[in-house]
Amino acid sequence: MQPRYAKKIADEDSLMAVILAQAMNHGNLSMAETSDIPYHVLEATHRQYLRLATLRAANDRISNAIARLAIFPHYSFDLEILYGAGQKFEAANPTAKARHSRKYFGRGKGIVAYTLLANHIPLQTELIGAHEHESHYVFDICYNNTSDVTPTTITGDMHSINKANFAILHWFNLSLAPRFTNPQAQVKQLYWGGPAKDCEGLLIQPAGQIDRELIVSEKANIDRIVATLALKEMTQSILIRKLCALPIHNRTRKAVFEFDRLIRSIYTLSYLLDPQMQRNVHRSQNRIESYHQLRASITQVSGKKQLIGRTDLDVAISNQCGRLLANVAIAYNSMLLSRLLERYQETGNQKALQSLKAISPVAWQHIHFLGHYTFRDNRHPIDLETLLANVALG
Q: What φ, ψ does residue 89 adopt, rounded to 5°?
A: -130, 140
- Is 339 within 8 Å of 386 (Cβ atoms)? no
236 or 325: which leads in pLDDT: 325
Q: How confident is the model at residue 7, as a pLDDT?
A: 61
Alpha-helix residue ranges (DSSP H) falling in 210-349:
212-217, 219-230, 236-245, 251-273, 275-299, 312-347
- CA proximity to 175, closest of 279, 288, 270, 285: 270
Q: What is the spatial distance between Cα 92 and Cα 235, in angstroms, rounded to a whole number?
A: 28
Q: Taking CA 75 as the corner, what is the angle to CA 77 and CA 282, rounded to the nearest 5 degrees?
A: 50
Q: What is the spatial distance between Cα 113 and Cα 349, in angstroms, rounded to a whole number?
A: 41
Confidence band, pLDDT 50/70/90 cuts, at residue 83: low
C-alpha pair distances (Å), 138 with each of 85, 134, 135, 374: 9, 7, 5, 40
Lowest mean pLDDT among 114-128, 208-222, 227-241, 375-389: 375-389
C-alpha pair distances (Å), 87 with each of 38, 64, 276, 289, 309: 33, 23, 27, 9, 18
Q: What is the spatial distance between Cα 109 and Cα 90, in angstroms, rounded to a whole number?
A: 6
- Is 119 within 8 Å of 49 (Cβ atoms)? no
Q: What is the spatial distance between Cα 9 and Cα 232, in angstroms, rounded to a whole number?
A: 36
Q: What share of the chain is helix, strand, coil (3-state, %, to 5)?
A: 55, 10, 35
The domain limits of the chain are 12-387
pLDDT at 199 over 90: no
Tell me the one-letter amino acid at 178: P
| pTM to 2 decimal places | 0.91
pLDDT at 256 over 80: yes
β-pairing, 191-192 vs 208-209, is: parallel
Q: Give the tens place of pLDDT for each residue, 321-376.
A: 999 999 999 999 999 999 999 988 988 888 888 888 888 999 999 888 888 888 87
Q: What is the spatial distance between Cα 307 and Cα 319, in angstroms, rounded to a whole number?
A: 7
Q: How confident is the model at residue 204, as a pLDDT?
A: 80
Q: What is the spatial distance between Cα 32 and Cα 23, in angstroms, rounded to a whole number?
A: 15
- Is 92 within 8 Å of 306 (Cβ atoms)? yes
Say how many C-beta atoms besides its own lie within 10 A of residue 106's C-beta.
Answer: 11
Q: How confident is the model at residue 1, as a pLDDT?
A: 58
